[in-house]
Structure 1
Amino acid sequence: MEKNKDDDYGEEEDSEYVLLDLEAVRGKIDIPLNAPYTLSGLDTMNPILIIDKKVKLGLDTMNPILIIDKKVKLIGEYEETIGTCFVFSEDEASPVVHEETGPSEANLFSGKYILDPNQAPRKQVKPVARLQKILKFRLLLDEDVQVETNSQNNSIL
């Protein structure tokens, strides 16, 4: 968890990162690039709760629902990690440039910079976040909603 300072209230709060794993639905559905999505709990009447002046989204439920492009519905289940997972971003790095320095019969470009044509493209990796939870999603079926509704009703009784 990381600590963030909330300027409005002068309080510190913990940020927790969760990895949304869509591997189980890969190849089964087509998710458009930059598609809008909604992440909430099964309580569609009150998908966002406010408790102690803090907003609680559907991530606080046991099985969050992910709706992509107002069409595809996925249900998630938390999976604890062993240890800490690190999330990295990957960018293209600039190629390595070599300066030709000594005289040589083969060196026609003395004092010039050259690129190695045999060098593979480089990547620059930067750490983004640490996380302890993975939220694995699968397609939401009608029986999933019925089972969750029954378990909520039983817990109220």
Structure 2
Amino acid sequence: MEAGLTERSDEKGEEEYVLLDLDAVMEHVSIRPDTPYVLTGLDTLNPMLIIDGKVKLIGEYEETIGTCLVFSENEAPVLHKETGPSDANLFSGRCIVDPNQVPSKEVKPVARLQKVLKFRLLLDGVDDAQQDHPSTEGNASNQSTATQN
């Protein structure tokens, strides 16, 4: 588990992970998982996030207390091995799925992070000069689960 959480460095420099916190925005705006977005100004104090070319958000970095651990989550069925020998056992040497048990989630560590980027709606009339910064584009389906130690 520890190996998946180590910081990576290469010729270009170290990777740094930041959690994008949209909790303050979600009560005002509905964002689908596949909605396109543009993230600009990550190297500034107040990065901007533009969702679907319509919704503008401004962010502010906050240091975490301790280290946040980020995990990916996948569906994984629960498998049960054969419990003992039986003359009438039709499933000898095989794993079976318990149909009465709810499927579990497979959780894998992705990264550690020290910063959270909290976003809020950008009010009209605020200077948009930060859009000159390099941007990161993607869609909102890149989801992870984070816990804090």
Alignment of 1:1-157 (within 5 A): 2-5=7-10, 11=11, 13-40=13-40, 58-99=41-82, 101-103=84-86, 110-112=89-91, 113=94, 114-142=96-124, 145=126
Give the drift of 1:28.
1.3
* Residues 23-82 of structure 1: per-residue CA shift (max 9 Å, x gap): 111131122332221112xxxxxxxxxxxxxxxxx1111111110110000111111101
2:80 maps to a residue whose letter is: V
| Identity level (%) | 60
Larger-gyration structure (1/2): 1
Q: Which runs of 5+ in 2 are unaligned?
A: 1-5, 130-149
Q: Distance in 2 between matches of 1:140 and 1:116?
A: 50
1:100/1:129 CA distance change after superposition, 3 Å: closer
Deviation beyond 6 Å, 4+ runs, structure 1: none
Q: Distance in 2 between matches of 1:116 and 1:37?
A: 41
2:71/2:108 contact within 8 Å kept: yes
**Structure showing the higher helix proportion among its residues:** 1
TM-score, normalised with respect to structure 1 = 0.67
Q: Relative contact order: is structure 1 or structure 2 higher (C-alpha 8 Å, sep ≥ 6)? A: 2
Secondary structure at the counterpart of residue 24 of structure 1: helix
Give the drift of 1:12.
5.1
**What's the C-alpha RMSD, in Å, of the aligned pairs?**
2.4
Q: Which runs of 5+ in 1 are unaligned?
A: 6-10, 41-57, 150-157
